[in-house]
């Protein structure tokens, strides 16, 4: 069975998330095969099979993958030029009332992927969030509609066709996508090597709702004037991972462009928990957004996230 290729024609996602989508490269039609494990994929990611592709996509592909209910879910996939062998995979999760096309443009992670030589996927959440092209993630473990099975299947599907290093599957997310990133780290720690979020609350109510099978490095970042995700909410997310990872009480300090507070906790099994509080804008209406691609602050956020991910593969 093959996934159907289709172009995504996404509208603007409202004033809060509005951003031009020009510059997203069109790419020739391609498809990612449904993985052997099907639509649930409870096992860890195996090594990519012989014959997997390291060829560049020549831009970002617009693809679909069915979820466990049989609904075709769009996602975008970028494979950079210059890969040699199995590459890391970063799965980038948009926030609420957003979509993959906008999120790709709003974060600049495709340019990071080209520079750092990793594959990046931008999937669409399974919950319509009030209007066309506005989507969200169902992160609650108790909800039968939660998106963990879809994202596990997505990783396996990409790894079945493209050469992916199974020890280097990482997740990043924004806002509600940060909650889903947290849920994936909690419920799929056999698959997720490490993760980081921008303005993302925890996807678990407490440590008991986060059934990790190992210690896992995690980064939490946000603006100090974010009107939606307050600092105390981000600190609670940070502290969930400090508890899970058995971190020391005293952090090392971190600095960077627009960083007003940076903490790095050394934890059990060599993992790290990172907390970085930024001030990238005086405009509170923009403080929840991912920093503008190309800005010094965005470069700092994206590079620091990547350095955390790259330094923390699966053991």
85-99 pLDDT, tens digit per residue, is 999 999 999 999 999
Task: Note whether residue 8 is domain-resident.
Answer: no
Q: Output the CA torsion 95→44→112→72 (10° steps).
A: -50
**Gap between the Cα atoms of 233 and 203, Å rounded:** 11
The three-state secondary structure class of 41 is coil
DSSP state of 117: T
**Rounded to whole angstroms, how far apart are CA atoms 21 and 184?**
28
Q: 269 with 247: CB under 8 angstroms?
A: no
Domain-located, residue 22: no
In a domain, 280, yes or no: yes
The answer to whether position 289 is within a domain reads yes
How far apart, in whole angstroms, are the C-alpha atoms of residue 216 and residue 219? 10
Q: For residue 23, is it within any domain?
A: no
Q: Spell out the residues 6+ positions from residue 108 whose beta carbon is closer than 8 angstroms to its own.
A: 293, 294, 298, 302
Whether the CA torsion 160, 184, 248, 207 is positive or negative: it is negative
CB-side exposure of 64: number of CA atoms within 13 Å? Answer: 15
104: containing domain: 60-310
Whether 93 is in a domain gets the answer yes
Note the pLDDT tens digit of each residue in 203-220. Answer: 999 999 999 999 999 999
Query: Does residue 276 lie within any of the structural domains?
Result: yes
SS in 3 state form for 168-237? EEEEEEECHHHHHHHHHHHHCCCCCCEEEEECCCCCCCCHHHCCCCCCCEEEEEEECCCCCCCHHHHHHH
Q: What is the CATH number of the domain that holds 292?
A: 3.40.50.1820
State how far the Cα of 278 lies from the Cα of 262, in Å rounded to an integer.
9
The domain tally of the chain equals 1
Report if residue 104 sits inside a domain: yes
- pTM strictly above 0.85: yes
Per-residue pLDDT of the chain (315 residues; tens, 9 = 90+): 233 322 222 222 232 223 222 233 333 344 577 899 999 899 999 999 999 999 999 999 999 999 999 899 999 999 999 998 999 999 999 999 999 999 999 999 999 999 999 999 999 999 999 888 999 999 999 999 999 999 999 999 999 999 999 999 999 999 999 999 999 999 999 999 999 999 999 999 999 999 999 999 999 999 999 999 999 999 999 999 999 999 999 999 999 999 999 999 999 999 999 999 999 999 999 999 999 999 999 999 999 999 999 999 999
């Amino acid at each position: 069975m093959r996934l159907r290729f289709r172009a995504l024609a996404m509208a603007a996602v409202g004033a809060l998330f509005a951003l031009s989508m020009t510059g997203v490269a069109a790419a020739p039609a391609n498809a990612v095969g449904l993985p052997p494990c099907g639509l649930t994929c409870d096992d860890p990611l195996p090594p990519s099979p012989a014959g997997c592709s390291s060829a560049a996509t020549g831009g970002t592909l617009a693809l679909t993958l069915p979820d466990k209910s049989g609904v075709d879910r769009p996602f975008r996939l970028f494979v950079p030029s210059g890969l040699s062998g199995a590459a890391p995979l970063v799965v980038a999760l948009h926030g609420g009332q957003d979509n993959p096309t906008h999120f790709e443009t709003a974060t600049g992670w495709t340019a990071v992927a080209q520079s750092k030589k990793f594959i990046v996927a931008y999937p669409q959440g399974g919950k319509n969030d009030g209007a066309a092209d506005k989507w969200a993630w169902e992160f609650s473990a108790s909800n039968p509609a939660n998106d963990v099975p879809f994202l596990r299947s997505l990783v396996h599907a990409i790894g079945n066709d493209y050469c992916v290093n199974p020890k280097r599957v990482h997740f990043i997310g924004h806002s509600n996508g940060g909650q889903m990133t947290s849920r994936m780290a909690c419920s799929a720690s056999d698959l997720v090597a490490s993760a980081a979020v921008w303005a993302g609350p925890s996807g678990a109510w407490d440590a008991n709702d986060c059934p990790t099978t190992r210690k896992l490095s995690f980064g939490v970042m946000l603006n100090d004037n974010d009107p939606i995700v307050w600092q105390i909410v981000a600190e609670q997310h940070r502290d969930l991972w400090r508890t899970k990872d058995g971190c020391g009480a005293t952090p090392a300090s971190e600095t960077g462009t627009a960083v007003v507070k940076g903490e790095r906790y050394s934890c059990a099994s060599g993992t790290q928990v990172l907390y970085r509080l930024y001030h990238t804008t005086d405009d509170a209406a923009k403080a929840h957004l991912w920093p503008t691609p190309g800005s010094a602050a965005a470069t700092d956020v994206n590079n620091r996230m990547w350095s955390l991910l790259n330094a923390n593969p699966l053991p």
